[in-house]
Amino acid sequence: EAEVAQSPRYKITEKSQAVAFWCDPISGHATLYWYRQILGQGPELLVQFQDESVVDDSQLPKDRFSAERLKGVDSTLKIQPAELGDSAMYLCASSSRLAGLAGANTGELFFGEGSRLTVL
Amino acid sequence: QKEVEQDPGPLSVPEGAIVSLNCTYSNSAFQYFMWYRQYSRKGPELLMYTYSSGNKEDGRFTAQVDKSSKYISLFIRDSQPSDSATYLCAMSADTGRRALTFGSGTRLQVQP
């Protein structure tokens, strides 16, 4: 079964250090999302790509976070410098390009297992 | 105030009980409503999907949407210990954009 791959699964770093997360979406999925999930809360969108283009990065703290999807396939999310408040699960998700017809498989995001970041 | 509100629980029920999970929302543009299940240390997985108002049933799970009240529910019949997880409601307004807005999740524990 096709899956969204993420690495690393766990990352412990000290504040002010740089950290990077990688995501490989399901093959053929044009839309890729990075979500952040703080413990006890729901996922919050950081950035959305359609192919290699950013569709929405309004919630991405651009002073320290960056995301790229250069060839429209895999993606990297970087944090530099990391802060204590960045400790969270970083989830990558992908969805297909299929049109959103009522009754179709609209809105199904397939999530990876996440990368859990702890900043000390 | 958040766009989507969800009681965080935890909710503890005995095996076989009927479970009711709920979310309220404020954005009247939301048209697509989903429930995701998230096991500990895993990514969320889609459980139920509903477009606009109405009910949808899938095995032991029933999703209800009442757009007039901006209220959605997930019912689990004959709950099993394997149903123990966090349940996240999610919704979106625009299929083109398709990014979801999530509730904070309700943690469910089904006691054997």
**How far is B25 from B14, CA to CA, in rounded Å?**
29
> B100 contacts in A (CB within 8 Å)?
45, 107, 109
Is residue A43 less than 8 Å (CB to CB) from chain B?
yes
Provide the pLDDT for residue B74.
97
**How far is B110 from B15, CA to CA, in rounded Å?**
6
Tokens standing for A4?
Answer: 């969204």
What type of residue is B72?
I
Percent of chain A predicted with pLDDT > 90: 73
Residue A101 pLDDT class (50, 70, 90 cuts)? very low
- Decide if B79 contacts B18 (C-beta within 8 A): yes
Provide the pLDDT for residue A30.
87
Among the residue ranges A55-64, A78-87, B1-10, B33-42, the one predicted with the least confidence is B1-10
**How far is A67 from A34, CA to CA, in rounded Å?**
9
How many angstroms separate the CA of residue B95 from the nearest CA in chain A? Answer: 5
pLDDT by residue, tens only, chain B of 112 residues: 789 999 888 999 999 999 999 999 999 989 889 999 999 989 999 999 888 888 999 999 999 999 999 999 999 999 999 999 999 999 988 655 667 899 999 999 999 9
Residue A33 pLDDT class (50, 70, 90 cuts)? very high
| CA nearest to B10, candidates A89, A40, A43 | A40
Residue of B58, B95, B101 for testing the chain A interface, max A β-carbons within 10 Å: B95
